[in-house]
């Protein structure tokens, strides 16, 4: 990667300037989220995963995005309220950003460049096609709730399809393997 993921400017959902540097030394699971998607119930599993593994060094991070059928129409305050009231989300959420297209946020440009291959993405891609949704670029984020796993040194080590849930053995195995490594 051309720059460190840790240094890319971000904004927390409350508007506070931030970056991933504050999570240096942790295993990160970055997820583009949306509140009006068929996969939105994954919030529950992501929060459970976070609560179960945060003391071992896992940090789940949510990045609201409105790239897919306008399934995240709210502003940051509305998104934060939705996540808190409906799912009790305690893992950090960031300001809404774009994960694809000409306005793709630099974080997602780095993530997709570092990990163009997605684990478990075939069936979901085919299901989207049946709804008339066809992704132009295989390296683009396919849909809401795609997951990027970053090791304790800031390297993107895996990428998981949107329908790979938080309790999927493939995801858990990859997370546990990273948690076993020291920073």
Active-site annotation, residues: 37
**Contact criterion met (CB below 8 Å) for 51 and 44:** no
Instruction: Give 131's Cβ-side CA count (13 Å radius).
Output: 10
SS3 160: strand
Q: Is the dihedral of CA 163, 166, 170, 174 positive or negative?
A: positive
- What end-to-end distance do the CA atoms of the chain give, in Å? 19
Distance between CA atoms of 116 and 111, rounded to whole angstroms?
Answer: 8
* Residue 125, number of CB atoms within 10 A of its CB: 18
E strands present in 65-130: none
E strands present in 96-161: 147-150, 156-160
């Amino acid at each position: 990667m051309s720059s460190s993921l840790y240094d890319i400017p971000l904004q927390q959902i409350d508007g506070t300037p931030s970056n991933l540097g504050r999570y240096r030394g942790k295993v990160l699971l970055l997820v583009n989220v949306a509140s009006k998607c068929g996969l939105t119930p994954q919030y529950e599993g992501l929060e459970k995963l976070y609560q179960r593994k945060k003391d071992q060094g896992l940090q789940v991070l949510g990045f609201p995005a409105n790239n897919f059928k306008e399934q995240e129409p709210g502003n940051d305050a509305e998104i934060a309220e939705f996540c808190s009231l409906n799912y009790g989300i305690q893992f950090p959420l960031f300001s809404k950003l774009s994960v694809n297209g000409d306005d793709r946020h630099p974080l997602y440009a780095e993530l997709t460049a570092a990990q163009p291959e997605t684990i478990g993405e075939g069936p979901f891609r085919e299901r989207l096609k049946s709804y008339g949704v066809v992704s132009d670029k295989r390296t683009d984020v396919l849909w809401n709730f795609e997951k990027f796993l970053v090791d304790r040194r800031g390297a993107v080590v895996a990428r998981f399809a949107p329908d790979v849930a938080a309790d999927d053995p493939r995801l858990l195995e990859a997370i546990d393997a990273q948690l076993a490594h020291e920073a």
